Amino acid sequence: MSDSKHSNCEESGDATENLKLSVARTLKWNVIDKVSSQILYAVTGVVLAQKLSQEEFGLVGAIMVFQMFAERFIESGFASALLQRKSPSRLDYSTVLWFNLSMALALYLLLFILAPWIADIFQGNTRLIPLSRVMFLTFIINSLSIVQSNRLIKRMETRMVAVSNSLGLIAGAVTGIYLAVSGYGAWALVWQSITVATVKTIILWFSSGWTPMLAFSFPVLKSFFRIGSVVMFTSLLNTAFQSMGSFLIGSKVNLSSLGYYTQADKWSKMAVVSISQVFASSFVPLLSKVQDDPERYAHMCGKTHRFAAYLLFPGMCLLAVMATPIFHTLFGTKWDPSIILFQLMLIRGIFFTLSNLYGNFLLSVARSKRLIANEVIRDTASIIAILITLPYIAITAPGNPVRGVEIFLWGQLAATIVTWITSLILVIRISGRTLLSYLGDLLPYFALTCLSLIPCIMLLNANLHPLLICVLQSLAFMAIYLGINALMKSRIQSDMLGYLFGRFRKAH
């Protein structure tokens, strides 16, 4: 009997270690993917921001309102349902792929016809008609990569996802920069997007070693409907309200103000969305594997939450403090009105990412009713904030042409904080952890971030080149934040380094 117990313990230990190694590889490649992608995206963005006007960015920002909504509708939540399912079959993957493609083709045809109506919404700017008809081709191309990418993420083999993203961005950068320098205006942004989507999709198809069956199963599609439809519903609502700002600014104010908003949104999302996606692609597959073991599930929720706090507070808050020297280093003063919008979006991003993380906890155990409740609360709070701030959205002030947009974002920040509180309440019962334990995960890293930011704030008044200020702020912050974590023997910091380099400290 003792031998049997000993054998079981060894098997359990091996399984745990294998799971850790899988998480390490997945997290490492997800981080490499996001860091390399954002560096490439940043380099391209700097060049394009210097070459293109605010109105040209506003034109593409107007198109992206419909682009984002269409892409969420095409995905339909079934890719998330595939992640939640323990062992999807080839028929499962094939059915979802053909469904995604058919939805993409149908939506493209509809939006192609509606292109003149889209132009009418945004103050009758007819340049939007040809721009949108070409730009919308990207969601057809992207529909072919959803399942290929999802399959690799499910198997926690994310290396080729990172490679495809990076090579796609390199090709898109070359295309976009060449067209911008050659004077093609907003078309540079459109063809950049087309190139990125095409290269990424081609690489995933040729490298994955998987091809779909020429078969479609309605029973399979129906089996995904319970989770897929909920995720689609929540995702569509979430996307609609994320796009609401661009829609209202473009239609109620002007395209130049939308350009400032789009620029702030783009640069803030480089941090916010990247971190949120790392958590989703790294930990949702893992949490779905331990969903039937309450003790391990609670442990993983806690560890993921602490890891989020360790990254989110310093990352978002440091960027918010560094916003002015960053923008001045990259763009001079051309995009100064975007700075305050960028800062507000970063702070909102903290609560947005935490809320999405709690949504991933709910998704991993298929709690569809709570997912719907979470999204209804999010959207209700957002609507209330919009109704309160909309009368002020077109206000300008001396030296600040986006004062009304700033007021609008303050309302959205308040709505996101409300959503964070309610989503935390919803996730407490299913995760087996208490409110105090969740707050205990966050507060130490929040306090340490505030302490580490003191010298960074003081450096803002230094009479130095903006780039030098950025360097000094980064070094000062890292020295304090990483140093105190090391002195306190932070297990999260130790594990993070272990994840990145494939090493683990054995539990004592």
Average pLDDT over residues 474-496: 88
Nearest C-alpha neighbor of 406 from the set 416, 392, 418, 387: 392
The answer to whether residue 325 is domain-embedded is: no
Q: Which residues are within 8 A (CB) of 247 and not within 5 positions of it... i.e. 6 or more apart? A: 65, 121
Give the separation between CA 286 and CA 134, rounded to whole angstroms: 38
Burial 17-31 (b: 16+ CB within 10 A, else e): eebbebbbbbbbbbb
The answer to whether residue 115 is domain-embedded is: yes
The answer to whether residue 387 is domain-embedded is: no
Residue 248: CB atoms within 10 A of its CB come to 20
Q: Who wins on pLDDT, 430 or 332?
A: 332
Residue 10: what pLDDT? 44
43 pLDDT tier (thresholds 50, 70, 90): confident
Q: Which residues are within 8 A (CB) of 473 and not within 5 positions of it... i.e. 6 or more apart? A: 318, 321, 322, 325, 455, 456, 459
Rama region for 397: left / alpha / beta (φ>0; ψ in -120 to 50; rest) = beta
Give the separation between CA 95 and CA 121, rounded to whole angstroms: 36
The answer to whether residue 498 is domain-embedded is: no
Give the separation between CA 53 and CA 263, rounded to whole angstroms: 11
Q: Which residue has the tokens 């990247």?
A: 274
pLDDT of residue 54 exceeding 80, the answer is: yes
The answer to whether residue 223 is domain-embedded is: yes
CA-derived radius of gyration, the chain:
23
Number of domains in the chain: 1
**Taking a C-beta distance cutoff of 8 angstroms, is the pair 315, 288 a contact?**
no
Query: 196-228 pLDDT, tens per residue?
Result: 999 999 998 888 778 888 888 888 777 766 665
**Taking a C-beta distance cutoff of 8 angstroms, is the pair 257, 90 a contact?**
no
The answer to whether residue 374 is domain-embedded is: no
The answer to whether residue 329 is domain-embedded is: no
Q: Which residue has the tokens 């594997």?
A: 289
Q: What average pLDDT does the chain have?
A: 81
Which structural domain, as residue segments, surrounds residue 201?
14-229
The answer to whether residue 33 is domain-embedded is: yes
